Structure 1
Amino acid sequence: MSYVTPITSESGLLNSFLFLQILVCFCPMCGPSGHSSFGSLSVMAALFILLQGFSNFLYAWYIRENKQGDLLEKFRDSCSVRGVSAEGGGGRGARLAGTRGAEGGGSRLISSLALNQMRASAVSQPFHKDSQREALRSFLSNHPSMLWLMNVFEGENVKASDTLRMLASQEKESITKKKYMLSMAKLSLLASGSAVAREAAMGWINSQMTLIESQENLPESTVINFGYEPDKMPVLTPSEIIKLYIADECVDATEYEFSKALDLLPMIESDSEREELWLTVWCKSILRDSWLDVDSCVPVETCQRKLFFKLVELSLLMGKTPLEVLPPIDKVMAMEDLGTLRDSKSFQYLLQIGYEHYMKL
């Protein structure tokens, strides 16, 4: 499933414009003689392409030809035209102007700082006054969603990565935003050249990216059945993702979906919750089949057709031992979710036969 959506709203256009202002404003500020380092430019270009969908080639041409000011004016005019033409008249335009005003000191500071420097090709000159840097840094200290940009262009890539990881950990509304933040945090970390900082943070970033991948791989029908919009998914917890993989609404779930649920269990911090979910996964796999069709001639083959034991076989193929895989049979029989199935003689017989067979492997 793809979670990337184009920017079409008025607020999205305004945010895009403000983002471009910061971009062309910072480019001449960084590095010796106002030139960006490769690491800083690669981080910036990657973010700009991901979040704004702007042409990498076109952007590079404007920067190379020292036409940042023209680029800013073109983008600003485009935003204004789209904002007014969407509804016509002064209503939309007035609201757009009001939105800019509502942004408060932050937007006015960024707009003033960018436009004053960029008009008449002044954008190609670096900021010489330390007071300008300090004023911007003071403002951005309360806005970490933009502060990391300044960190990158001043070569503080580790700080930028730390800020992005903090923002990613707090993001709950959009899995797309979290994914981009993690990607930029990883890229900033790689650009830092610090092996110590990289080793300490990379594990967390990779685990979060794995969690996002698990959420993105959820069957679309299941996502819709639970009231989510596939293209506008919020950030789900590991527990929520596990429950979706094994939900009754996920009618086509196989041992592979249940295995994905088991793989997410280490991300559950609470020991009691982790064990409860572990048993729930196995219980749900039992309830996917009927256990009343016992063929006394080939009981092992009957067991192997059940999802419960298919999941066992898959786990064994992945290198785990029977003791690691099979839940204690007494705990399985104690699961209240099994209902009257616990009293079924055929169920008890097949479960016992299956356990004996796989424990010998």
Structure 2
Amino acid sequence: MLAAGDRVFIHDRRQILCVNMAPASELKDAVRLSPPGERIIGWGLGADAAPLVLTSHPGLLRLTARTAPGADHSQTMNLSLLGLDQTAPLSQSFNVSLTQVDLEELLTSSSDVKAKLRAACILFCKNDLPRYSALVEELFPRSAAVGPDSELDLTVVALSRDIIDDYPAADPRLLQDATVSSTTSLILLHQLDDKREAHRLYVAFLKAAGLWDRLTSVTDRDAVVTTTELLHEHHEKVLSAMALANVSPQLSEVVSAAVTRVVEERGELPLRPLTARDVFFCHLSAVDDIISALIGREEELMTSGATANEVVRLHELTRRQALPATEPGAERTGLYQQLLELADLVLAGYTAQLAALRGTERHAAVQAEFEADRYHLIEPLLEAEQYERATSLAEKYADFRVLVEVCERTNSTERRNKYLAQFADQGFASFVFNWYLDQGRRGQLLSQCRQAELAGFLHDYRGLRWLNELEAGRFAQAGDTLAQCADAETEFLTRKKTYLSLSKLCALAGQQGDELEVRLTKLKPAIELSQLQEQLPSSVLEAHGIDAETMHVLSPRELILLYVSPENEGANEFDFERALELAESATLEGGDEEREQLRLEIWCRAVLRDLWTGLDTDRPLEACRDTLLLRTIRGLQRSGRRPLHLLPELNLLLDCKQLSKLRGDRDFAFLLGAVYEYVERLEAHVGEQA
């Protein structure tokens, strides 16, 4: 530490810090030595009480204070680094080639405000206080109005951009004459460090000249930002460029590819002997373009699978070769950790790729690949009972299958409930329920999962929903669900009957009075239909290859035609009456048209049950008395039905394809006509009595 008046100086190997000890003062400046190899050897006070610094290069330097024109000395104190000739060191730090720039001509002939501001900065570096102060006052009088996008703000930003975007003046490959440059180095890292130092000195000049506090804001990329913030951004871009230029060898290829991509996209392909790297690291104001290029490069690598495949290959080698050859212990534990880290690396790459592809057609395909690889990568840890490692990955990448399997293997209801809460908004509950169903563990699903969560999930699973409703004591809902199950059942008659019986029991347990009657009435047709099917003669079932124990649910049409089929040799008028009643009451897909066709089919089969040749036509009704046709008609009359409403028109019956062999028999036509006349007269008589 070195004290000089009311100022105290502190230094490390390459930087000097000045603290003003006067009241209401603050830290004013920090001076960094340049070039990078320079370091401080020693220091002391000179004859004029100015600090003298001995450095490894260029030698002895003197620190002097500088004030802004017209400003209070104690408030605007700044530091500059000067050599013994008061010119060389700062000129070197700012890297202005005075042999290429006629400073005097620049000051007298140029009408460019930015060029004159650059000249003022050069005078500042030369410690020419009177001239740079006068030039600043000429360019930007203190009396001039300031505000957003003022000439001062725009000029300051433009020069800042020029400083970080210029070409190295000493590079012989340049086709242009870089007359004013912040760097003369030929080595990239040194060029970037020179730009950093030049920009720092530029900011110091703005503060010393009293311009810094007058800056307001500018419009940049369609947004209003403070000018000082934009200058800080320029400084950060230089630092970012230094980091990119100094990446590790493992990443240099990736960065080089991204640099080339940026230059190509800008249309700035360099002419030999310059390279894309030369062009990119000159224009530092746009160094952030490399971010999109790196993302694009990552997408390409992940799409091609080149990087991921290498990691997956290493994962497989660890799994199939290293682990089996390793005894339990620290080494094997290390291999399990390696499996975790490799899997994490691949899955993280997938996650980044999916985020970049969101909204594109390829997203779905990559998502499917991710889900397949996700389980494959975590499964070895699961099988090795490395449950904590497996769940850490499964939780991070939402592999619900692994989480459920860990819960089952550890028999941990607490862990499952934790995940149900943790991933409630990601559908974990539905995944758990579907997993139990896929595994055929329906009992475990109903016994171990919470009722509230099951209720919503089981809405589409009637076969399980009624059990959950019974468990909750909701008998009416369970009865309705069972009735729906019965309506949907087509595979087994026995199962349909069970559903109907249980639905009836639920109705009896859950309702009473009129509501109970309504529910029982709704169930009655389905129950009767099941009973009719169950009562089919065994001869009919055998003739049609139907097993009574495993027969499927017959449709009303199938059941009717089986009852009146020729195979039902013992069929009588009661079977045909039942068939006609069923045709009337059943819900048929073809509606009334199908109903009429069924009636015609039933009556045709009734006619064909008897021989109509040789019957006595003198007494037609007596002759037809024992035919199934007339017995069925009379049976309908006895039960209070009106046969004429169920019989097809006589012409339709005679023209029926099934009766084609009888169509030319006039005796048959006569007898059939007599039967129809009998029915018509009988119903007319009944109508008169009514």
TM-score range, shorter chain: 0.5 to 0.7
Q: 1:324 and 1:141 mapped to 2: Cα distance?
A: 45
- Is residue 229 of structure 1 aligned with residue 550 of structure 2? no
Query: How much does 1:143 deviate?
Result: 3.4
Counterparts of 1:151-190 in structure 2 under 5 Å? 151-190=469-508
Q: Which residue of 1 aligns with 2:439?
A: 103
Cα RMSD, aligned residues only: 2.5
Letter in 2 for 1:159: Q
Distance 1:358 1:197 in 2: 42
Of residues 251, 259, 267, the one that matches 2:577 is 259
Where in structure 2 are the equivalents of 1:146-295 lying within 5 Å?
A: 146-193=464-511, 197-265=515-583, 266-269=585-588, 270-295=591-616
Secondary structure of the structure 1 residue equivalent to 2:450: helix
Q: 1:221: Cα distance to partner?
A: 0.6
Which digits, 9 at most, give the CA deviation of each residue in 1:55-82, with x for residues without a partner? Answer: xxxxxxxxxxxxxxxxxxxxxxxxxxxx
Report the Cα distance in structure 2 between the residues aligned to 1:233 and 1:360, rounded to whole angstroms.
45
> In percent, how many aligned pairs have the same letter?
32
Match of 1:319 among 640, 643, 647: 640
TM-score of the two chains, using structure 2 as the length reference: 0.34
Aligned counterparts of 1:101 and 1:251: Cα–Cα separation in 2: 47
CA distance in 2, matches of 1:268, 1:144: 23
Matched residue type, 1:286: V
> For residues 321 and 200 of structure 1, do their structure 2 counterparts lie closer, same or farther at Cα, with a shift above 3 Å needed?
same
**TM-score, normalised relative to structure 1:** 0.62
Secondary structure of 1:252's counterpart equals: coil
- 1:315-352 residue CA offsets vs partner (Å, 9 max, x unmatched): 11111234334332122112121113112111011112
Mapped contact 1:171–1:235 kept (Cα < 8 A): yes
* CA distance in 1 between partners of 2:602 and 2:502 (Å): 34
Q: Contact 1:161–1:184 at 8 Å: present in 2 too?
A: yes
1:296 matches 2:617: yes
2:677 is aligned to: 356
Q: Deviation per CA, 1:274-326, whole angstroms, max 9, x where unpaired? A: 10000110011111111111213432111112111111111111112343343
CA shift, 1:182, in A, is 0.8
Where does structure 1 lack aligned partners over 5 or more consecutive residues?
A: 1-99, 114-130
Contact 1:315 1:325 in 2 (8 A): no
Cα distance in 1 for partners of 2:459, 2:620 equals 67
Q: In structure 2, do the counterparts of structure 1 residues 141 and 105 end up closer, same or farther at CA, with 3 Å as the change threshold?
A: farther
CA distance in 1, matches of 2:649, 2:437: 64
Which whole-Å CA distance do the structure 2 matches of 1:206 and 1:322 have between them? Answer: 25
* Greater strand share, structure number: 2
Equivalent residue for 2:233? Answer: none
Q: Secondary structure at the match of 1:341?
A: coil
Please give the alpha-carbon distance, in whole angstroms, between the structure 2 residues aligned to 1:175 and 1:104.
23
Alpha-carbon contact 2:617-2:667 (below 8 Å) kept? no
Question: One-letter code of the match for 2:594?
Answer: E
Aligned with residue 655 of structure 2, among 309, 320, 334: 334
Q: Any conservation in 2 of the 1:239–1:268 contact (CA below 8 Å)?
A: no
2: distance between equivalents of 1:360 and 1:286?
21
8 A contact 1:151–1:159 mirrored in 2: yes
Q: Is residue 599–residue 647 contact of structure 2 (8 Å, CA) maintained in 1?
A: no
CA displacement at 1:183 relative to structure 2 = 1.1
What is the total number of aligned residue pairs between the two structures? Answer: 245
Gaps of 5+ in 2: 1-435, 683-690
* Partner deviation per Cα, 1:222-270 (whole Å, 9 max, x = no partner): 0111010012121001100001011111122111211111111120431
Match of 1:9 in 2: none
Q: CA 1:309–1:199 in structure 2 vs 1: closer, same or farther (change >3 Å)?
A: same
Tell me which of the two structures has the higher relative contact order, counting C-alpha pairs closer than 8 angstroms and 6 or more residues apart: 1
Alpha-carbon distance between aligned partners in 1 of 2:472 and 2:520, rounded to the nearest angstrom: 22
Looking at structure 2, the residues matched to 331 and 132 of structure 1 have their Cα atoms a distance apart, in angstroms, of: 63
Q: Secondary structure at the match of 2:660?
A: helix
Kindly indicate whether the alpha-carbon contact (under 8 Å) linking 2:644 and 2:679 is maintained by their aligned counterparts in 1: no
Q: Which amino acid aligns with 1:256?
A: F
Q: For residues 135-190 of structure 1, give each alpha carbon's deviation from its aligned partner in whole angstroms, at most 9, with x where no partner exists.
A: 44455445322221231232311211111111111111111111111111111122
CA spacing shift, 1:101–1:284, aligned 2, 3 Å:
closer
Shift of 1:199: 4.7
Q: In structure 2, how many angstroms separate the alpha carbons of the residues matched to 1:305 and 1:327?
A: 21
Amino acid across the alignment from 1:219:
P
Verify the 8 A CA contact 1:245 1:258 in the aligned structure 2: yes
Q: Secondary structure at the match of 1:202?
A: helix
Tell me the residue number matched to 1:93. none
For residues 41-120 of structure 1, what are the structure 2 equivalents within 5 Å?
Answer: 103=439, 106-110=442-446, 113=448
